[in-house]
Structure 1
Amino acid sequence: MANVETSLKETMASIEGSVAAALVDYTSGMALGTIGGGKDFDVNVAAAGNTDVIRAKARTMEMLGLKDEIEDVLITLGGQYHLIRLIRGRGIDGLFLYLVLDKRNANLAMARHQLKRIEAELEL
């Protein structure tokens, strides 16, 4: 099992094309940990903004009567992938892993696979 800092460092090191990563509480919009980004990309702002994405999707699913859970959400930009993976189980709710990938260097299928593994090893 890995703590938040270790998990985020592993995310950046093991997923090719990683630009930034965060563990986010979508009930408050606060990042519990971040790594990467820079002056042109504020990870905390992006993490907070993506809480609205998760909340909107959850409301939509409720209105549609869908009895399922969100695994992950992919947002594709011109040069980046933004991957949001909800953390479930082990009594954890309301958190997601957020990963920003450079499209030129990333393998999306492998990134999803690695992020799922990192989520399973995360200890809170």
Structure 2
Amino acid sequence: MTTVDQTLTSALTIDGAMAAALVDYESGMSLGQAGSGLDLDIAAAGNTDVVRAKIRTMQHLGLSGRIEDMLITLDTQIHIIRLLQSQSGTGLFLYLVLDKSRSNLAMARRQLLNLERDLDI
């Protein structure tokens, strides 16, 4: 099991990783962050709105599945939001920013899943 800081530091070893954060989507606050390139406090709050909107939309559609991750592709970056499947039911997500030219999306998603499995909250 790894701590939040260890998990975020490990996330930065993913090819093309620029920044990472653990975010509470109930409050919009970052619980930990690593890397640089953007204001992670603003990113945490803004992406909280994205997660909440998707959950609300799924409820309106009557969809009962769970969100594994969300992908936002920009012209030079890839942003991955990975909702954690916690036993406590706490609403958390890992947020990873990748340099699009230096990353492999499939590998990044796989490595983020492995980091989630090892994270001890």
Q: How many residues align?
A: 121
Match of 2:51 in 1: 54
Q: Is residue 72 from structure 1 mapped to residue 69 from structure 2 by the alignment? A: yes
Relative to the length of structure 2, the TM-score reads 0.97
Structure 2 residue aligned with 1:84, among 81, 84, 94?
81
Aligned position for 1:120 = 117
**Whole-angstrom distance in 2 between the partners of 1:26 and 1:37:** 21
Identity across matched positions, percent:
57
Query: Deviations along 1:57-85, whole A, 9 cap, x unmatched?
Result: 00000000001000000000000000000
Q: Please, what is the CA RMSD of the aligned residues?
A: 0.8
Secondary structure in structure 1 of the residue aligned to 2:63: coil
In 2, Cα distance between equivalents of 1:45 and 1:8: 17
Counterpart-to-counterpart distance in 1, 2:75 and 2:113: 24
Q: How does 1:40-51 map to 2 (within 5 A)?
A: 41-51=38-48
Residue 4 of structure 1 corresponds to 4
Residue 91 of structure 1: how far off its partner (Å): 1.9
> Are 2:96 and 1:95 aligned?
no
Amino acid in the other structure paired with 1:74: L
TM-score of the pair, normalised by structure 1: 0.95
The yes-or-no answer on 1:26 pairing with 2:14 is no
After superposing on structure 2, the runs of 4+ consecutive aligned residues of structure 1 that deviate more than 3 Å are none
1:37-68 C-alpha deviation (Å, 9 max, x unpaired): 24xx1111111100000000000000000010
- SS state of the match for residue 104, structure 1? helix
